[in-house]
Amino acid sequence: MSPAVRSPLPGEAAALDSVDDPVFAGGVVGPGLALRPPTGRRLDVLAPVTGTIVKTTPHAFVVRADDGAAVLVHLGIDTVALRGQGFEAVARQGERVDAGQVVCRWDPSGALDSGLDVVSPVVVLEPVGAAIEPAIPVPSAVGAGDALFTII
């Protein structure tokens, strides 16, 4: 079994099918969980696994773990429309990160003010066909850096 995928944000963990986006909710992107982060303050967004950042945009990033698994953290739904507003990069594409290391900072208030949903999917992109085993009851509160799920 793979090491635990850690929560990149504090908040409430929810089933992915509760996300108001058919691509995430339908599991098209991959299996995972969603996080409903607190609002009203800027949040440190943490690497969910130890590995290398293989893709980064202001609102999303992918870390390829040492075992080859690729984990996507997508901050909010349709937040690409914010064009980077409210997001601050800390780590860069190609950089090696440890699980729990700050990758970026995000203030969800801008997304809310724009009428966007701040629910944030954490999804396994690879290996294709992977499944997850939640490390916590879903739904439940989770802290940043807490074990979220394992890849099976």
Q: Catalogue the active-site residues.
A: 74
What count of other Cβ atoms lies within 10 Å of the Cβ of residue 115? 8
Beta strands in the chain (DSSP E): 5-6, 11-15, 32-36, 43-46, 51-57, 60-65, 70-74, 87-89, 96-97, 102-106, 120-126, 132-134, 140-142, 147-151
| CA 83, 47, 100, 77 torsion-angle sign | positive
